[in-house]
Amino acid sequence: MNRAPAKSYAILLDVLIYALGGAAQRAAFLLLVPILGWLLSAADYGRWMIFIALLPMLTAIIDFGFSKAVGRFYFDNDESAASLAAFLARAIWLRLAMFAVLILPVLLGLWMAWPLLTGGSLPPSNFLALLTIACLSEAVILGVTAFSRARHVTLLFGIVRLGQGVLTVGLSFALAGTHDLIGAAIGLTAANVTAAAVAFGWCLVWISRQPRLNAPPSRFADARRMTRYGAPVVVHDLSWWIRNSSTLIILSHFVNAALVGAYSIAFAALSLISMLSWSLDFAVAPYYYRWRKREVDWRANTRDILGVTNAIIFILASTGILLFADVRSAFFGSKFEQADQVAPLLLIAGMLQPLYFMTVKPYFYLKRTALLSSITFTTSAIAVTGTIVAVHQWGFLAAAAMTIISINAIVVVGYWLSLRLEPAPFKLYRALAPAVLCCGLAVVNHLYDIPLIARTAIAAALVTVALLQIVRTLRTLQSRNAFQT
């Protein structure tokens, strides 16, 4: 019996689990948008968004590229269960050592930079410790889930991430109802700590059940190569944060907290796309590395899987551009109405994210993370400078426009320089086509007052076409046994 076709759609189960739990905080934050947007004042909601905007920044620093190193070097140690158990044990010791080295300088730097990072909106005495604990916990979760993705332990991934998301929503909602903004922050932190404890406990149990190597490497045998791989990734991850969440920090210095809150409602639409883009990337990455390692149809598979992810994100982006204002009005009435101007621009930026993830894949596989970090840092630094100037001159809409420009810049520059590493498996202009179509939709929707029924019909037609494309491409991937493990 040929088992390959039966396994070909395993990617769909992975995507479902990763979409639901792969970005638990993002999913939880999206669910909390209508809850906290209704429960908190507009100003406090803006402060809440500043707090959670700092989470990916500090997590990237504390993680220090460790989780991506675990996901990459897993495939250099997967010859046996004993080798993997020894690798995971060494990774835990290295993780603890990195925490010990980083924690004091991180706390000192965070304390000194707090007024700049928050625009004076959040008192450090209340929020700095909560932010640090939440990010330490998230770094632990990232390392464990990177290992579980590589090993395809989707059940663990789902339990940890979905549990984290459910606790984040439940605890933040419950505590915000009695303690307002600080209660929401405490609830988020408690959810992260609980999920990290479960993830770390699984690691210890799994290692204890595996056979032992007769002559295992020394405890920190992987420290040098994992650190050299991971350290440049910190710059890359911070650059990603700079291009996205830093906009809220910049706005906090130029507009009041209520307007930051309105921008954040529109930003929730981009966060939804980011959540799904990350989840799709989580699902695809292990297969991509296997395609590259085996050198079987990897170019065609990469091109087709990009087509699938582009089509999935296009469904969200196009529907959001056409219907965002109606959804926002249904939840909040006239509250946060400035978000209607911002959302289409941010959704166009979100449409570029699948292409971004696929463009940077060769840098990770070929272990050229230092080159990638230099690219992303340079473009992000320019984008931050441009955003500050643009917001000062033209207001908060300019921040959304700069988000499009910055993500597009890193895609184009990253793609162009990747051609020096190897020929690209896809053409850039074809991969950009969905984003161009989203631009056209946004322009038409802005210029003409299209009735809701007509906009809904257009969205339904676009969704149907995209779904047909997804099914057709998945069948092509199935015929190549692309998802056989």
Q: What is the pLDDT of residue 419?
A: 87
The tens digit of pLDDT for each residue in 270-302 reads 878 887 887 788 778 888 888 888 777 899 999
CB atoms within 10 A of CB 460: 11
CB atoms within 10 A of CB 155: 10
Q: What is the pLDDT of residue 244?
A: 62
Per-residue pLDDT band at 317 (split at 50, 70, 90):
very high
Mean pLDDT of 434-439: 93
Average pLDDT, the chain: 84
Per-residue pLDDT band at 4 (split at 50, 70, 90):
very low
Looking at residue 57, its amino acid is: M
Half-sphere exposure of 379 (CA within 13 A, CB side): 25
CA dihedral (39, 121, 324, 310) in degrees, to 10, reads -120
pTM metric for this prediction: 0.66
Q: What is the pLDDT of residue 387?
A: 83
Question: Which residues have a Cβ under 8 Å from the Cβ of 113 and sit 6 or more positions away?
Answer: none
Q: What is the pLDDT of residue 243?
A: 63
**Is residue 8's pLDDT more than 60?**
no
**Is residue 192's pLDDT more than 60?**
yes
Give the sign of the dihedral formed by CA 326, CA 328, CA 332, CA 334.
negative
Q: What is the pLDDT of residue 3?
A: 41
Distance CA 39, CA 177 (A): 7
Distance CA 395, CA 71 (A): 41
Query: Measured at the alpha carbon of residue 144, what is the angle toward residues 272 and 171, in degrees to the nearest 5?
Result: 55
The tens digit of pLDDT for each residue in 209-240 reads 888 888 778 878 877 888 888 777 777 777 76
The tens digit of pLDDT for each residue in 354-405 reads 998 899 888 888 878 778 778 877 887 787 788 888 888 887 788 888 888 8
Per-residue pLDDT band at 322 (split at 50, 70, 90):
very high
Distance CA 368, CA 376 (A): 13
Half-sphere exposure of 211 (CA within 13 A, CB side): 8
**Is residue 193's pLDDT more than 60?**
yes
Tokens of 428: 């850039």
Query: Between 474 and 76, where is the model more confident?
Result: 474
**Is residue 6's pLDDT more than 50?**
no
Distance CA 133, CA 126 (A): 13
The tens digit of pLDDT for each residue in 127-163 reads 898 999 999 999 999 888 888 877 777 778 888 888 8
